Structure 1
Amino acid sequence: MTTPCFHCGSACPDPAEFTIQYREHTEPACCAGCKAVADTILASGLESYYAQRTESASRTEPLPKEIREQLQHYDDALLQSDFVHHISDDIREAALILEGITCAACIWLNEQHLSQLKGVISVSINYSTHRARVRWDDQQVKLTTILQHITAIGYRAHPYDHERNEAQWQSQRKSALLRLWVAGLSMMQVMMFVVPMYMAPDGEIEAVWLSMMHWGSALLTLPVVLYSCWPFYQNSWRELKHGRASMDLPVSIGVIAAFCASTYSLITGHGEIYFDSVSMFVFLLLGGRYLEFKARRRAGAAAEMLVKLIPAFAHQLEEDQTLRETPVHRLAVGDRILSKAGETIAVDGIVLEGSSEVNEAMLSGESRPISKQSGSQVIAGSMNLISPLTIEVKSVGHDTRLGSMVRLLDQSLQQKPRLAQLADWVAGWFVVALLIIAALCYLYWHLHDPIHALPYTVAVLVISCPCALSLATPAALTAVTGHLAQLGVLVTRGNCVENLASVTDIVFDKTGTLTFGEPRVAQLIPFNCSSTHALHIANLLEQQSEHPIAKAFKSSDTTIATESCSKIVKEFKNHPGGGITGTIDNAQYWLGSAGFILGELGHEIPTSPTQDAIGSTIYLADQQQVLAAYILSDQIRPEAYNLVKQLTNQRYRLHLVSGDELRIVRHVAKQLGIEHYQASSTPEAKVTYIRQLQAQGRQVLMLGDGVNDAPVLALANVSIAMGGGVDIAQAAGDMILLNNQLNALPHAVELAKRCRKIIRQNLAWALSYNLAALPVALLGWVTPWLASLGMALSSLLVMANALRLLRNKKPQKTE
């Protein structure tokens, strides 16, 4: 005879060799490792862990020798440089992955246990990703001690490793998908047998064929019961051992009871058979679990994608001026690196030599390239556009500005959806009530009519199966997700639709969201030549350049047509930070800023009364005079005007928050009619702006496209990333505008409101159905097969109501 281990649940002999003293009781332990861990937990005053947990801990085995040796070296500064952030001289922060987490109580235990360690300042663990952020005083406690402290209570911590974490997620995904596939295949095959039996009149199918189809259904349902439902059984058993019940328990009882009753009826030839109901609601439940799994994976991947923006290697410049490929995490403050044209800068630093232009749009929101020369500061993740730069390293990895953005995003993603918490609370009470009623039903009929006790109890479990209740929300979300996809809006997190329906304020980023995100020719001012000639010469010169400004002249939607020409530009030269020069038909031309023209030629820069557009101005000149001026600006998307008008009519409060300078932001806000705006906003300033709105009780929707928007996208109540934005913004966003069409936003908001209404209708119906069906089943008026039909019809009604969200209904405007 064996008894379960008090700590891990594994079998141990009776009497047990090892014991644990818990609240004046002696509990068995399977091994010395589990005893040691349990004694440590209890000695720390954390015995509440055993009352709170919903699943048993993993079995604690001795650490391998190589792991113990590794723990001794984690205080090495070079090893820590890749995953430890220096907050100040003594304060450190590390990103770790915890192994052995099985439930929310494990999170509580680790946080409480580490908080008791002298020198540990804060501990935050994300349940979805099992990622921990630990901050400590290095003068009082070392990282090695923290890792050993975690090991002492039966868990393992190691520096965050993307490949290791990815492999773990992929293994879980494949397992969940295989169980879903088995249930779906079984459901389809069983229905092939069942439908003819339902459709055919009594006696039309011969008994031998009827028996064969029933046995076929039983064999096809067996993999569902033994394999697909295994997670339900495991969770139910763990919960029962600790006196808890959740949605998995009635599912497990219903599946087992329905299958056993059907098998009994098949063998004895008496009673009803309902294998189709078993495979059907198992498939639907597993489908919902798989969608939830994918949503959690998407949320946890956002910060990882941001880290990938920094290259892994850099060109380190040695004392003898030779270049050596060096891992970025091995660089130290004061080292020199060479950033070549077209490469991503790997560190925060100061330019020592060279002159170039850098695109910081992904980090600052500024759409125009920024000139860099000796003494200029550069930031990790920005793109060097024109020529090589020699850079002195000032900060690396977690100390860079991009590293601080990763931490902001990580903190924002800790929030848990309210809808999931409410559903868990309702389901918990519903499950307890259902189990009590089913037990009383069996007891009553066993005393009065033992033959019908089991069928009636199965009917109660089946007809009141929480299938419709569990489908009420995901069915509506699935339908609205499909409709939003048709509109060009991709939903990446399931809870965002509910949040979108409650939005009161909408915050827009400017560059790449309300504007195109690239310079275009807004105005051409000819001085001493025709407009056609001026644009023609500029186009020829810019065709030789890869500078972002060149796209303004190559754009197909330029309002002034250029003539087709095959002339060749000779003696072309790029002047970083100034402009370009070239010879066309033996005439030399200069194209660039006013300072460049003045410095190269000394020409006086003319002015014009029409020169009033907001944007950058560049000039075209020859050896004699200035020929023309071109005003370049980031143009507002045409659909942005209609978007703002519709949202204003729907009584939303609109905000514009951008990294651009005040005059540009004010101009865009005035053009669109947006009353609230803020300019020169860093990522941290945007986060502060959102938090201030939320502190006022506002529900905030954020639209953005750049990496600098990722933390604020994650912080907002609901966020939408532009489809043309970078991957991290899309990962942090709850939704993505795949085609960048802003016109879809008002439709999406109205659709979210309809979805919330239908979710409430579905929940009301599911609960009403269960309350009405229970008395009927308790009285024995419903046989198991009729109960299965009632359960199926209830689920179909929920699905049909959700499918109304697929209708192309125009949003209603509030006047």
Structure 2
Amino acid sequence: MSAAQAMPAFGAVLSAVQEGCFHCGLPIPAGADWSVTIDHVARPMCCPGCESVAQAIVANGLDDYYRTRTGFADTADREALVPEQLRLYDASTDEAPDDAETIEASFTLEGIRCAACVWLIERRLAAVPGLLQADVNVATERLHVRWAVGACQASDILQALQSIGYRAYPYDAKRHEEYLRTAEKTLFRRLFIAGLAMMQVMMYAFPAYTATDGTLDADMDALMRWASLLMTIPAVLYSALPFYQGAWANLRQKALGMDVPIALGIVAAFAGSLDATWRNTGDVYYDSVTMFIFLLLCSRYVELLARRKAASALQKMQHALPASALLLKNYPADRASELVPAGLLKQGDVILVRPGDAIAADGTLIEGQTSIDLSLLTGESQPVGKTVGDAVPGGAVNAAQPMLLRVDKPVKESTMAALLSLIEQAGQGKPQLALWADKVSAWFVAGLLLLAAGVFVAWQIIDPSRAWPIAIAVLVVSCPCALSLATPTALAAATDRLLRHGVLITHGHVLETLHRVSHVVFDKTGTLTYGKPVVQKMQLLGSASREDCSRIASALESANAHPLAQAILRYGSNDTNSLQCEQVEYVAGQGVAGRIGNADYRIGNAQFVSGMAGALPESSEQSGMTSVYLGTQGNWLARFDISDEIRPDAQQVIRTFTRLGKKVILLSGDRQSAADRVGRLLGIDTVYGDKLPQQKLDVVRQLQEQKQGAIVAMVGDGINDAAVLRAADVSFAMASGAALAQTHADAVVTSEHLSTIADTALVAARTMAVVRQNLGWASLYNVIAIPAAAVGWLNPWVSAIGMSVSSAIVVLNALRLRHIKLQAASMTSLPKQVRPAPV
């Protein structure tokens, strides 16, 4: 069908759907708020099924379907989406290499009400054939899955989730943000209605509580009951709906989540009150029901806000890369700029970055002088100055003047993109404490239901009039929520704090394992040191001045990319009146020769320079350093002693781990003498040098296989550290190091401060303490509150307060971790007397 033929058909369909679902044409139920944006217009949908199918069509670029269709689509099943339609999602997750054995993908989850939902989702997905891994991050409401190629499809996963009442779709930052905003508004609306109902019902219940015998007329009492019933209905049927949905999903899967006792408590109390109102005899609990619903929703609203806060740093990083950039197509001939999608930028393109704009891709500054804000990338709070020739990472923010940038890497390969790929792993997996809490919560609910039934039977024998309220109180007072929230909330808060401080946690076990490590193993180059040669000293060997020697050396090395040459250039960067070198000759492995003015010069190793300068005069070379000599015809001029520079906070980091009772080891591929020197300067007793990657791996494995079984933390940065990083029990990679090392590590240090690793160890200790406090409080509360309710000491509304307060205490206690004071900032300006000497 041509476009011209299709337009009338599309117009007819469009006019027919003005009153109904845009996808299937059926009437839209009253109060429905499902919609999908098609052709920049929000189109109404009649159910979640049609909404998901339409969204899949749009997300996969198939909008033309709606423009060319001649009729409505088949209606989507209200209980489960049609598999053929769901398979539209498969295209977006099947872009794996031909030789790939598994596929990984992230999905946004809708409908997560609390931490217990995680257990149900993971249990259901475990039954999907071919699905190898499913991890739910409750803080960000994201699902990360991995499945075998050919054995499973994205549609199978989505259908499994739909069958238990949860909706999911491939992660899209904009849609995910819209969902979170909508979910928060919906929960607040339910909370508002429940609060309004509670206040009104309390007003009607107050006369009954305060009246003495005979002071409240029977007709007035009946009127108060009926008024309370009318005000309770919106809370029970609308505000409490998430609890019923959660309980029904649990029961359909033959599981017992914490929504089950909550729903039973609400229904039982309301049913008993309704019966008493109808018969005009017995007690009513409308005030308890509305208060229970209100307090529970308050607790969940606080939990929701806590999860949002705990994930705030991750969300900021995910939105850091701009969607567009100002491209200078004809630079330098023409400076006209054009707004283009950032994803189309390629190596060599020149872009304009205005003040306040985020930088779209990694590049080199070619014009302008500015300061950039690296806070999202490294946690560094102070702007960093940049001038022509400096590298600038994508994701940073231009904080001062306009600048021109030459793109070095496409957006998908930028520094921020690499961090975002690591963020995809953040929150996946669970430590043992979280797994234990999930299992305990499930058994806890089963035991609670049995106990409530037993208490009801016992009180039927003792005092039948109290059996119903006491059984309700037992159901209401219990708090499996606190057990389920104790660990994930604390981990999310601690992870957020560390990310803002410059440490990206990519695996869930890091904090728990780091707290238990016995050995901390450091690589040397690029980890304890900067990995960049620095001239530590220039020794004059002749009559030439220090400034002249520096200028001559810089002129000889001006075009040399060797790391030692670059160190000499940096050393002489402040010298004025630079010289011009001619007849430059590079001798591989030895040095550089050239002519400056009327004289010939050489710079390089002693043997190379002695061929022009003669016999080397006696001089004391520095142990552990590389010496580069400068000479001219018949004269020695200077010696440059070059070495790697130890990070200023390295010594303090070693002291911190030693004070915490950890055994610190230096494990380096550098020569033994250089490694020993660093070990002496930093106070490390055990030093291994001259180790190849396999030998490094052997050292770590030998530690782990000891009789006591050491728990090893490894810190490295190079490609040769990838294997040992993966083998360690917990590992850290420096963000300035190789990408391969980062992908094999459990955490990435995005800041320049080594001290953030010591801070992470302190945060780990505090986090585990908070987790233990939360688990201890949750256990103690339930041990005391449930028996108190069972013997009749607590009525339902008091139980509701106790349950809500218990959950709130756990959440608020965990949020304290977001404000831990850390020390890395103060370590960057150590006094000279505690700074280690150069290597």
Q: TM-score, normalised by structure 2?
A: 0.56
1:593 to 595, 604, 618: 604
**Which moved further from structure 2: 288-297 or 679-688?**
288-297
Give 1:518-597 correspondences, 5 Å limit. 518-528=532-542, 529-542=544-557, 548-553=563-568, 555=570, 564-571=575-582, 575=586, 577=588, 579=591, 584=596, 586-587=597-598, 592-594=603-605, 597=608
1:700 to 712, 718, 727: 712
Partner of 1:783: 795
What is the alpha-carbon distance in structure 1 between the residues aligned to residue 458 and residue 583 of structure 2? 96
Give 1:663-812 correspondences, 5 Å limit. 663-681=673-691, 683-696=693-706, 697-725=709-737, 729=741, 732-799=744-811, 801-802=813-814
What is the alpha-carbon distance in structure 2 between the residues aligned to residue 714 and residue 517 of structure 1? 22
List per-residue Cα deviations over 1:543-582 (Å, max 9, x = no partner): 5555544552455xx6xx8764143535485848455566
What is the alpha-carbon distance in structure 1 between the residues aligned to residue 586 and residue 487 of structure 2? 60
What is the alpha-carbon distance in structure 2 between the residues aligned to residue 216 and residue 687 of structure 1? 68
Amino acid aligned to 1:772: I
List per-residue Cα deviations over 1:69-112 (Å, max 9, x = no partner): x9xxxxxxxx99x8366xxxxxxx7334599997568657857x
Give 1:6-155 correspondences, 5 Å limit. 83=97, 94-96=101-103, 103=122, 110=129, 129-132=144-147, 147=150
Partner of 2:440: 426
What is the alpha-carbon distance in structure 1 between the residues aligned to residue 263 and residue 171 of structure 2? 30
Give 1:318-397 correspondences, 5 Å limit. none
List per-residue Cα deviations over 1:426-446 (Å, max 9, x = no partner): 222212111212233445567
Seen in structure 2, the aligned counterparts of structure 1 residues 195 and 540 have a Cα distance that, compared at 3 Å, is: farther
Seen in structure 2, the aligned counterparts of structure 1 residues 679 and 795 have a Cα distance that, compared at 3 Å, is: same
Deviation (angstroms), 1:636:
1.3
Q: Residue 438 in 1 paired to residue 438 in 2? A: no
Seen in structure 2, the aligned counterparts of structure 1 residues 685 and 536 have a Cα distance that, compared at 3 Å, is: same
Deviation (angstroms), 1:657:
2.2
1:183 to 163, 178, 187: 187
What is the alpha-carbon distance in structure 1 between the residues aligned to residue 244 and residue 692 of structure 2? 50
Seen in structure 2, the aligned counterparts of structure 1 residues 259 and 292 have a Cα distance that, compared at 3 Å, is: farther
What is the alpha-carbon distance in structure 1 between the residues aligned to residue 277 and residue 752 of structure 2? 58
Q: Residue 460 in 1 paired to residue 474 in 2? A: yes
How many pairs align? Answer: 593
What is the alpha-carbon distance in structure 2 between the residues aligned to residue 428 and residue 617 of structure 1? 67
Seen in structure 2, the aligned counterparts of structure 1 residues 106 and 750 have a Cα distance that, compared at 3 Å, is: closer
Partner of 1:50: none
Q: Residue 281 in 1 paired to residue 299 in 2? A: yes
What is the alpha-carbon distance in structure 2 between the residues aligned to residue 176 and residue 262 of structure 1? 36
What is the alpha-carbon distance in structure 1 between the residues aligned to residue 472 and residue 585 of structure 2? 82
Q: Residue 654 in 1 paired to residue 664 in 2? A: yes
Match of 1:501, SS?
helix
Seen in structure 2, the aligned counterparts of structure 1 residues 417 and 269 have a Cα distance that, compared at 3 Å, is: closer
Partner of 1:616: 626
Match of 1:753, SS?
helix
What is the alpha-carbon distance in structure 2 between the residues aligned to residue 260 and residue 714 of structure 1? 57
What is the alpha-carbon distance in structure 1 between the residues aligned to residue 135 and residue 820 of structure 2? 37
Amino acid aligned to 1:693: L
2:313, 2:500 within 8 Å by CA — same for their partners in 1?
no
Deviation (angstroms), 1:463:
1.3
What is the alpha-carbon distance in structure 1 between the residues aligned to residue 539 and residue 132 of structure 2? 58
What is the alpha-carbon distance in structure 1 between the residues aligned to residue 741 and residue 185 of structure 2? 32
List per-residue Cα deviations over 1:255-279 (Å, max 9, x = no partner): 7668888999999895432132131
Match of 1:781, SS?
coil
Match of 1:635, SS?
strand
Seen in structure 2, the aligned counterparts of structure 1 residues 109 and 762 have a Cα distance that, compared at 3 Å, is: closer
Partner of 1:17: none
**Which moved further from structure 2: 535-544 or 479-488?**
479-488
List per-residue Cα deviations over 1:335-364 (Å, max 9, x = no partner): xxxx99xxxxxxxxxxxxxxxxxxxxxxxx
Match of 1:569, SS?
coil
Deviation (angstroms), 1:770:
0.9
What is the alpha-carbon distance in structure 2 between the residues aligned to residue 426 and residue 281 of structure 1? 21
Match of 1:638, SS?
coil
Deviation (angstroms), 1:536:
3.2
What is the alpha-carbon distance in structure 2 between the residues aligned to residue 608 and residue 231 of structure 1? 86
Q: Residue 637 in 1 paired to residue 663 in 2? A: no
What is the alpha-carbon distance in structure 1 between the residues aligned to residue 615 and residue 185 of structure 2? 72
Amino acid aligned to 1:677: V
Seen in structure 2, the aligned counterparts of structure 1 residues 94 and 752 have a Cα distance that, compared at 3 Å, is: closer
Give 1:184-333 correspondences, 5 Å limit. 186-187=190-191, 225-226=240-241, 232-233=246-247, 235-240=249-254, 244-247=255-258, 249-250=260-261, 253=264, 270-272=286-288, 273-274=290-291, 275-283=293-301
What is the alpha-carbon distance in structure 2 between the residues aligned to residue 662 and residue 514 of structure 1? 15
Amino acid aligned to 1:670: R
Amino acid aligned to 1:505: H
List per-residue Cα deviations over 1:500-542 (Å, max 9, x = no partner): 2211110112222100121111232322233332223334555
1:177, 1:290 within 8 Å by CA — same for their partners in 2?
no
Match of 1:130, SS?
strand
1:515 to 515, 529, 541: 529
Among the aligned pairs, what percent are the same residue? 29
Amino acid aligned to 2:256: A
Partner of 1:378: none
Seen in structure 2, the aligned counterparts of structure 1 residues 155 and 474 have a Cα distance that, compared at 3 Å, is: closer
2:307, 2:492 within 8 Å by CA — same for their partners in 1?
no
5+ long unaligned stretches in structure 1 = 1-56, 71-78, 86-92, 112-122, 135-146, 157-163, 302-338, 341-409
Q: TM-score, normalised by structure 1?
A: 0.57
List per-residue Cα deviations over 1:430-477 (Å, max 9, x = no partner): 121112122334455678777765544443222112222223334544
What is the alpha-carbon distance in structure 1 between the residues aligned to residue 181 and residue 720 of structure 2? 35
List per-residue Cα deviations over 1:773-809 (Å, max 9, x = no partner): 1122223432332112112332344456556765659
1:490, 1:738 within 8 Å by CA — same for their partners in 2?
yes
What is the alpha-carbon distance in structure 2 between the residues aligned to residue 684 and residue 430 of structure 1? 48
Partner of 1:52: none
1:704, 1:729 within 8 Å by CA — same for their partners in 2?
yes
Deviation (angstroms), 1:638:
2.6
Deviation (angstroms), 1:653:
1.2
List per-residue Cα deviations over 1:645-682 (Å, max 9, x = no partner): 33224331112223334443333223323233334555
Seen in structure 2, the aligned counterparts of structure 1 residues 635 and 530 have a Cα distance that, compared at 3 Å, is: same
What is the alpha-carbon distance in structure 2 between the residues aligned to residue 791 and residue 711 of structure 1? 48
Amino acid aligned to 1:436: L
